[in-house]
Amino acid sequence: MVSTAATSESSPPEPERPIGPRGVVRFIGELLITAGLVVLLFVFYTVYVTDWFTARQQHAASERLQSRWQEQRDDQPRGQVIPEPPPPERGAGFARLYLPTLGPDLNFTVLEGTDAETLEDGPGHYEGTQWPGEPGNFAVAGHRIGRGAPFNDLDRLNSCDPLVVETATHWYVYRVLPLPGEGTGWDEHGGDPRCAGVAPMTGPYQDVSGRRIVGPSRGDVIDPVPGAPVADVLAPGASRLITLTTCHPEFSARQRLIVHGVLTTEYPKIAGSPQLRPDELEER
């Protein structure tokens, strides 16, 4: 009698079957499903997880800023104009930016610097550009997707919309300049009180509009006079601008969305006086 084991050991191995069209399709399908899950996880992390981390960091930066401002107010004699604090260190908050027409609660602590680590915590001030209220260009960068997405809706801003900056010493109200194509017939805006102090720019500023899209190499948009020689920085009559920059389109760094505004109003803070909020914060 031949044992079962002997029969099994002496049997020739079955030949491997070639992968047919159905197997190839199944394999490709599994790869696509895996790739899709990876993409979904990446999008979830970028849009939600980084937002959560940034919200915590922004809250902490805002609390530190408010505490410093309160100490500075308390140190000044009542009725005195609060003096300017020393320049902030990189990564430290020094101002707050309000975009009231995009939402009543849309405001952020602005940090010093635009390196990747700083921008993970909120909008960052381009080092070397002017400070709020100064002649020249106060320039700020912010993410459009993830990490709090502070500048996600910059493309919704219209001409004359307020961009309010609060510092230790002042409230500065900038307003978005006329958008491309609005120069002709701008006088029609004269009846809108929000547009007081806003008009198409001339001279070295003639190419500066309220909103434009440029390539990532256009660093001149944050120059004191955007796109003009540095010699024009503090020329007589130099304007006081704000520039906000972010990536464009969404989920891409292929281009940059630029918003320019001009300073129209400022309110000094007085030690010992109630810290009133400007009416411009209520515009919608």
pLDDT at position 78: 86
pLDDT at position 6: 46
Mean pLDDT of 89-117: 96
Q: Which residues contact 226 (CB under 8 A, 6 or more apart)?
A: 137, 205, 207, 208, 220, 241, 243, 260
pLDDT digits (tens, 9 = 90+) for 227-246: 876 555 555 678 999 999 99
Domains of the chain, first to last: 46-282 (2.40.260.10)
β-strand partners of 211: 259
pLDDT digits (tens, 9 = 90+) for 176-232: 999 999 988 888 776 789 999 999 998 889 999 999 999 999 999 999 999 876 555
**Residue 147 scores a pLDDT above 60:** no
Q: Which two tokens stand for residue 164?
A: 């309010």
pLDDT averaged over the chain? 85
Least confident stretch, 106-110, 233-237, 275-279: 233-237
pLDDT at position 90: 96
Q: Which residue has the tokens 């999008």?
A: 43
pLDDT at position 276: 81
Q: Which residues of 196-229 are buried (b: 16+ CB within 10 A; e: fewer)?
A: eebebbeebbeebbbbbebeeebeebbbbbbebe
Q: Which residue has the tokens 């914060």?
A: 281
CA–CA dist 103, 173 (Å, integer): 16
pLDDT at position 234: 55
Cβ(208)–Cβ(227) below 8 Å: yes
Which of 134, 132, 70 has the alpha carbon at shortest distance from 98?
Answer: 132
pLDDT at position 244: 98
**Residue 20 scores a pLDDT above 80:** no
pLDDT at position 179: 95
pLDDT at position 251: 80
pLDDT digits (tens, 9 = 90+) for 22-61: 666 666 766 667 666 555 555 544 555 566 677 889 999 9
Which of 106, 114, 112, 115 has the alpha carbon at shortest distance from 148?
Answer: 106
Q: Is 135 exposed, middle or buried (0-12, 13-18, 19+ CB in 10 A)?
A: middle
**Residue 82 scores a pLDDT above 90:** no
Q: Which residues contact 271 (CB under 8 A, 6 or more apart)?
A: 73, 76, 77, 78, 79, 80, 81, 82
